[in-house]
Structure 1
Amino acid sequence: MRPKSFQPRQEQVNFLEATFRKIFPQDTEYREKARARLEQLTMPHWALGDLMDLAVDLAGITRSLKPPVKRKRVVVMAGDHGVTAEGVSRYPSEVTAQMVYNFVNGGAGINALARQAGAEVTVVDMGTAADLDDLVKAGKIIARKIGNGTQNMAHGPAMTRTHAVMAVEAGIEVANQLAPETDVFGTGDMGIGNTTPSTAIVAAMTGAPVAEVTGRGTGLDDDQLQQKIQVVERALKINRPDPSDGIDVLSKVGGFEIGGIAGLIIGAAAHRKPVLVDGFISTAGALIAYALEPFVRDFIICAHRSVEQGHRAMHERLGLRPLMDLNMRLGEGTGAALAMNLVEAAVAVLTEVATFEEAGVTGTPVE
């Protein structure tokens, strides 16, 4: 059931509602078929634990006992944030664009891990402050720029409600564009200062005290951390985001790339594609997507738990457990790329390990 407070204007209904209406829960029949097969594999019952649970999810998502997972893609959404003026990051906003060029040139952490996983990396400009037209014209990134960075949420809304809707719609459009050539999506982000709006989102949507969900981001010292906590508290007090309305939260204290991630998740779900949600910023996008359409939860696979202390609260809100906990905090989609290896492993277990009958093993399976 969608939040009652989400009431898109008439011109928005056709696109968003049409997308929502394509999203259904995982297929129970295929989940049961996958579980039945996994219970008969030549190993002690459920011996591969979470990997087998993942295989069941993939069967339910794709409606297949041979889930397609070979064509993997990490979509990195980029955007800048006005709140960086409050000193919430150790790096200036200019680094956002510099990192986009690094992604395009293949020199970032996500590029290395994506290559290892056999995944493509697609960069989307959702709202960087820089002019990236040269990359757009060269076909190296996708242009969905809503604005040249958000406003400073410490002094008012980060964006208008219309721009928030546009950001989500843009993410859906990217998913629609890439779905025909993608089996598994991964979410990624780039935006200096974006742990601050993500912290505001988790605090707004869970009711957790800001101090309990605020992390050090790019490596803040104790004084800088206290400053960040105060900025988030001030933004929530000034803007009063409605936790039952994902668009309101996004517009008041979010970011263009966070809206794009939310839309990508919604779009992937509409195409029945599994989406590996990366770290803290990506999971903020997942919270927005979940608030708009709760059924997207069935298509979300939480890749990992980062060291950002608010990440656990996000996973608890979604009711999902991450696949890994490696003390990572890079973002970019690196955790999603790593988890793509586990996705392929889960499918291999489901499709390649013999059952007792197939192997000609008689007697009672070992418990």
Structure 2
Amino acid sequence: MTRFLLFLLLCSTAKAAAIQRIWLSFQRAEPTHLTVNWETAQPGDSEVSFGTSAALGGKAAKAELVTLHHVEIPIPEKDVTYHYQVRSGTETSAVHTFKGIPSQALRIAVVGDWGFAQPDLATLIKDDVHVLMTAGDNVGSLHQKGREGTKAFSALIDSQPELFRSTPFMPVLGNHDREIRSRGPKPPPEAVYDVEATAYRELFALPGNEWNWTLAFPEFAARFIALDLEHISDMGSTWQTGHPFDAASPQLTWYRQQIEPPRPGHTITLQNERNATMRGQLKGEWGRLFQQGTAVITGFGYFAERAMVDGFPYYNTALKGDGARYPDPKSAFFASEHSYILLTFKPKVPMQIEIKSLTGKVLDQQSVPGK
């Protein structure tokens, strides 16, 4: 009987410690290393075996016992397929793959408003992108029953397991990604949003302080800058969602350092506020800084749009594209379509930006030269 109880205990522990989900990200400002992330129900150590074939060969490990695992591996080889496998305790995953950084054409997709969509991503998956980024509102809230806190982001990963374990994911914050209680008709006594984005920063392993980050691909002279901008009219109330953006704010100082002077190539800014609202802030200072780069992409509205200001493109994209229509005053293209943005970079040539519908139609296409 004692042996039987011990057997049941061991089986129960093994089941509880099973690897539940795996996703990939970059934790450095350049993709010299990739971070493999996974969760386990019970604390365990963290080990990733990896290589450019199914034979693997390389290893990276952490001895600390945790339920949320983040392990970096070097990815120096270009134009290869990497294989990897994760282990915690006695639990080992299958061998999975991801694409190494290319040398000829880099494809990056940007999506918005995933938290309010149940998208069919077959077209995006067919585009075979190297990195998947967002423009905010990755989840609907952090207080839905059964999806509180980090569980909301875990559910997002569970919705597309193969995509997340084969494509590095670089999210940007929206207000819903830190909504810890219902908003209500007027600001309540207590804060509705977690400004510090605790759950988001706990689950994801991103560069910098994670609510602002940069990621550069030097071979393509391409760089992305993530800002924490959303519902800026609520600043100072219990509806405040993100970090300050005023003239004395660390965020503005940081962004100015990233964007000035303009760097050669392509600099894409990702944020979650309405473009027309944000570029007018501080007497147009935010707009002036935006236009030191190459383009701005937001996920604020539920539609697809490209606006042009003095030849500079501002984009809006949403996986849920059937919301209220309120075009940018400088709108040059507008469609009520479920969409994403596909950016293609090649060395020493203009960047290609496409707004694509989830049915595969190219809604808008632009060729944008670098600075």
Q: TM-score, normalised by structure 2?
A: 0.31
More strand by share: 2
Task: Answer 1 or 2: which has greater helix percent.
Answer: 1
TM-score, normalised to structure 1, is: 0.31
- Between 1 and 2, higher relative CO (CA 8 Å, sep ≥ 6) is seen in 1
